[in-house]
Amino acid sequence: MHAADAALADEDRLRAEMYRFLAGLLLHAPESQALAGIGQLSPDSTTMGSAIGELAEVARSADAKEVSEEYEALFIGLGRGELVPFGSYYLTGFLNEKPLAKLRQTLGQLGIERREDVKEPEDHIGTLCEVMAGLIDGSYGSPADAATQKQVFTEHIAPWAGHFFADLATAQEARFYAPLGRIGAEFIRIEGQAFEME
């Protein structure tokens, strides 16, 4: 294997890990063990590295029950949370609209089915991050080629995810989730630039 291929494989592994990290925290609140692990993350001098450092700092002093209550207030609430983490809502102002139908068609073409235990529509930001991770690392069979990854990202994530993460970063109820919003916004920006360069 050429050095460039090894570097690319390593880069893809890191991309998949970041998507999966975001998915895990967006689909459900972290337990105490996960918070302890997040508290061990190290910052660096990049924009994302700085936000990772902030998240780690908050995680070290966070209580799992408090973070669970924050998650509830942000994404679930009585009737609805402060934020509505679905593509259809961000793109049309309503749930279960054309963007979801289009996403379901794409996922069907890729052979990706919703698990029976999942109640949320597939255009949940956490589910989309999970889908991207699986396309990158081959969780759905074999890794998807760059063109397929780009299609899913540009059609179903890029039009709204940056806006969602920016909203999360400044949400009134967000303490633990505010730096995650900054991490997500920067990651989506980097992914978008990388796909544009291809």
pLDDT tens-place string over residues 148-192: 999 999 999 999 999 999 999 999 999 999 999 999 999 999 999
H or E element that contains 13? helix 3-27
pLDDT for res 198: 77
Could you tell me the two tokens for 55? 């998240």
- Cβ-contact 191, 170 below 8 angstroms: no
Phi-psi region at 111: left, alpha or beta (left = phi > 0; alpha = psi -120 to 50):
left
Q: Which CATH architecture has domain 13-29+71-197?
A: Orthogonal Bundle (1.10)
Q: What is the spatial distance between Cα 7 and Cα 110, in angstroms, rounded to a whole number?
A: 27
Q: What is the DSSP string of 82-131?
A: SS--BHHHHHHSSSS-HHHHHHHHHHHHTT----TT--S-TTBHHHHHHH
One digit per residue, pLDDT tens: the chain, 198 residues?
444 444 448 999 999 999 999 999 999 999 999 999 999 999 999 999 999 999 999 999 999 999 999 999 999 987 889 999 999 999 999 999 999 999 999 999 999 988 888 788 999 999 999 999 999 999 988 899 999 999 999 999 999 999 999 999 999 999 999 999 999 999 999 999 999 997
pLDDT for res 4: 41
Q: How far is CA 108 from the centre of its chain?
A: 21
- Residue 82: which of 97, 70, 91 has the closest Cα? 70
Q: Where are the domains of the chain?
A: 13-29+71-197
